[in-house]
Structure 1
Amino acid sequence: APAVPDDCVITLSVADVSKTFKQVNIHKAAGPDGFPGRVLRACTDQLASVFTDIFNLSLTESVIHTCFKQTTIVPVPKKVKVTCLNDYRPVALTSVAMKFFERLVMAHINTIIPETLDPLQFAYRPNRSTDDAISIALHTALSHLDKRNTNVRMLFIDYSSAFNTILPTKLITKLRTLGLNTSLCNLIQDILTGRPQVVRVGNNTSATLILNTGAPQGCVLIPLLYSLFTDDYVAKHNSNIIIKFADDTTVVGLITNMTRQPIGRRSETSPST
C-alpha cells in the first residue's frame, strides 16, 4: 500500500466522539484520574465538544497528556489461597477517556492498513473471528490426514506477557513499512512511552515508575498493534501453517510419509525480537 502523506493528520468530529461516549460501560471502574464512565455517558452533549478539541490537539501535536497515560495496577487473586506472585492477576486501571480516544485511533488505523497482511491472522480483521481460525486449523489438519501415510502435529504457543515486551521503536519501524504516516507513528510511540504507573494494594500505593516498553493491560490499541508487529511472523516451510489470533498462535505441522519435517522458522522479526 502506498505510504500515507506525512502531513495527513486525523481529525475527529464531535459526532465521532459523541457516538463513542454513548457506548461507555457505566459499570467499569474509573481510572487514576477518577473520571467515571457514567459521567461521560450522562453528559455526552456537554463534554463531547470539549474532548474533541483535546483529542484533535493530541492528534495534531502527536502527544498525549501525561494524565491520560497514568496507570494504577491492582493485584487481584486468581484463587482463594495465594501461594506466590503468579497467583495474582494485575488489573490495570486506566483513563476512561483515553480508552475512547484509542478506539477512535484504532478505527482509523483499520481503514488504512494494507490488504496484503497475513491472511492467517484472524484478530482485528473484518468478518473474521476465533471460529474462523479454529475452522482453518481443523480443515487443514483433516484434509492432510485424508492422504495416505500422513500425520499432523499441532503446537500451541502462549507467549508470556507478549504485549508487555513490545519495544516501541521496533513497532514504529514495522508500522512505517505498513504505510502509517509519521504523525500517527509519533502519536503511537508517545502513547507507549513515558507512562507513569503505580501499584495499589488496599490503602497503600507504591512509588511511581515510568515505563517505556510494552503497554498496560486493557490498552485498547495494543492487540491490533501486536498483530501488525507480528505480521511477517509466518511459516517458512510448506509443511506447516501458522495461524494467529493476536498473540495466540497455533502451528500446524503437516507430515508426509511419517517422517519429521521442519515445524517452521521464525521470520527475522518475531514476537521475541
Structure 2
Amino acid sequence: MCTWGNVKTKPSTCILDTLYHVFPNEECAKEFAQFFHSVYKVEPAQLDVSAISAAVGGNARVHLVRLEPDDVHRALARLPPKISVGPDGLPPFILKDCRHVLKEPLLHVFNVCLATATFPERWKLTRVVPVPKGSGGLETGDYRPVALLNSPVKVFESAIHHSLYGQVRARLCDAQHGFRPGRGTTGNLLHLMTQVVPALDAGRQVDVAFFDFRKAFDTVDNNILLAKLAGIGCTPHTLLFASYLRDKRQYVDCAGCHSDQYWTRSGVSQGSNLGPLQFIIMINDLPEVVCESTCLLFADDLKLVREIGDISDHAKLQHDIDKVIK
C-alpha cells in the first residue's frame, strides 16, 4: 500500500555492526559468501543455443540489433548518481556528468557486444553487499544479497531494458503487477479487493492462497530462462543473454573486506536493471496452469483467489494449488 513508504525506514546497520564485532570483517565476508553461494543451483547442463535459435525460427519478434546515441545518452541520464559503486570502483555520477563526452565510446563498446553476442568477462563480476531483511538479525539468512554492478554495465542494461521492455510489454501476462511501470502493490491489492469484497458483502466465502517462492531470483534456471526468452520471440541475436548469464562471479563486501570470488550458476541479479524483467519473463506463463481460480502476481508473490460455494470449489482451488507447486 502507499502508506508502506511512509512507515518503512532505512534498515539499521547496527546488526551488521554487531556481526563485525563478533567476527573479524574477513570472517564475516566469508560467512556471507558461503551462505549466498549455497542458495544457487549447481551448474546446469550446457545449453544448445542452436536448438533454441531454430525453435524461434520465423517467429522472432524481439530485436536488439543496435543502439543509437540517444539510447545511450538517455541511459546515462537515468543513472542514479548516488548509488554505490561496483567492482570497478567507478562512481556512477562520473558517467552521468560526463555523458556528452562518454556516450560515443560507450555506444561503440555496447554495439560491439550486441554485434558479437558477447558479454565481456570483466563485466560479469559483481560486488555483493548484505542488506538486512526488515529489522535484520544475527543469522546470515536474515540478509539479502544486493548486487552492485560495474557502472558501464548499469548503463548497458538500462539501454537494453528500455528497448526490450517496449517490445515484450504486450506479451507479459496481465496478472503480473511487479516490475512494470504504472503498476505496483496498490493496483495488485485493488484487484484482490474487487474479487473479495463484493463476495464478502453478499455473505459468501472467498478463499485466498498466498505463495512466496523461496529464493526465487537466485534459483532461476538459466537454460529455462533462455528458452522462455526464445518463447516470447527473441531473435537468435538476442541470445547475447546466453553470454550474459554464463560464468558470472560474485564476491561479498563487508565493511571493505572482500570474500573470495564464487561462481553463480543460476539466478538473476536483484540489483540489476535486467534481472527483474528476466524474472517476470521466466514466470510469465505461470497463470496458464491456473484454470479454476483468479491469479494475481507481484514479482514472486502469488495469490490464488476463488469464491467458495460448496466442497467442489475447495477441490478446484486445491487443484490449482497443486499445479502451481508442481
TM-score w.r.t. the length of structure 2 is: 0.73
Which of 219, 233, 237 is the aligned partner of 1:183? 237
Higher share in helix: 2
> How far 1:126 sits from its partner (Å)?
5.6
Distance in 1 (alpha carbons) for counterparts of 2:80 and 2:136: 31
Deviates more, 1:105-114 or 1:27-36: 105-114
Residues 39-68 of structure 1 show CA distances to partners (whole Å, capped at 9, x for unaligned) of 001111111101101111111111111222
1:21 Cα offset (Å): 0.7
Query: Are positions 1:219 and 2:275 aligned together?
Result: no
Judge which range, 67-76 or 139-148, deviates more: 139-148
Is the Cα–Cα contact under 8 Å of residues 26 and 36 in structure 1 kept in the other structure?
A: yes
- Give the C-alpha shift of residue 76 in structure 1: 4.0
Q: d(CA) in 2 for partners of 1:176 and 1:255?
A: 39
The one of 140, 143, 167 equivalent to 1:88 is: 143
1:167 corresponding residue in structure 2:
221
Q: How does 1:1-273 map to 2 (within 5 A)?
A: 3-4=59-60, 9-77=64-132, 82-113=137-168, 115-125=170-180, 127-147=182-202, 150-184=204-238, 186-234=239-287, 236-238=290-292, 240-257=293-310, 260-263=314-317, 264-265=319-320
Q: Retained in 2: the 8 A contact 1:70–1:195?
A: yes
Q: Which has the higher contact order (CA 8 A, sep 6+)?
A: 2
Residue identity in the other structure for 1:180: C
Cα distance, 1:37 vs structure 2: 0.5
CA contact (8 A) 1:233 1:266 kept: no
Distance 1:80 1:152 in 2: 33
Say whether the 8 Å CA contact 2:68–2:107 is kept in structure 1: yes
Q: Which moved more, 1:111-120 or 1:161-170?
A: 111-120
8 Å CA contact 1:195, 1:210 repeated in 2: yes
Q: Shift of the alpha carbon at 1:249?
A: 1.4
1:181 deviation in Å? 1.0
Give ranges in structure 2 of 5+ residues lacking alignment.
Answer: 1-55
Contact kept, 8 Å, 1:36 with 1:96, in 2: the verdict is yes
| AA matched with 2:207 | R
**Matched-pair contact (CA < 8 Å) for 2:268–2:278:** no
Q: Which amino acid aligns with 2:219?
A: T
Bigger drift between 44-53 and 150-159 goes to 150-159
Unaligned runs of 5+ in 1: none
Report deviation, 1:170. Answer: 0.5
SS of structure 1 residue aligned to 2:81: coil
Please list the CA deviations of residues 15-44 of structure 1 after superposition, one character each: whole Å capped at 9, or x if unmatched. 211122122221111110111111001111
Query: Could you tell me how far 1:162 is from its partner in structure 2?
Result: 0.8
User: 1:200, 1:236 → 2: CA distance?
Assistant: 41
C-alpha change, 1:171 and 1:266, in structure 2 (3 Å) is farther
- Give the paired residue count: 267
CA contact 1:71–1:216 (8 Å) conserved in 2: no
- Quote the RMSD (CA, aligned, Å): 2.7
Give the Å deviation of 1:193: 1.7
CA contact (8 A) 1:167 1:213 kept: yes
> How far did 1:244 drift?
0.7
Answer yes or no: is the 8 Å Cα contact 1:114–1:179 preserved in 2: no
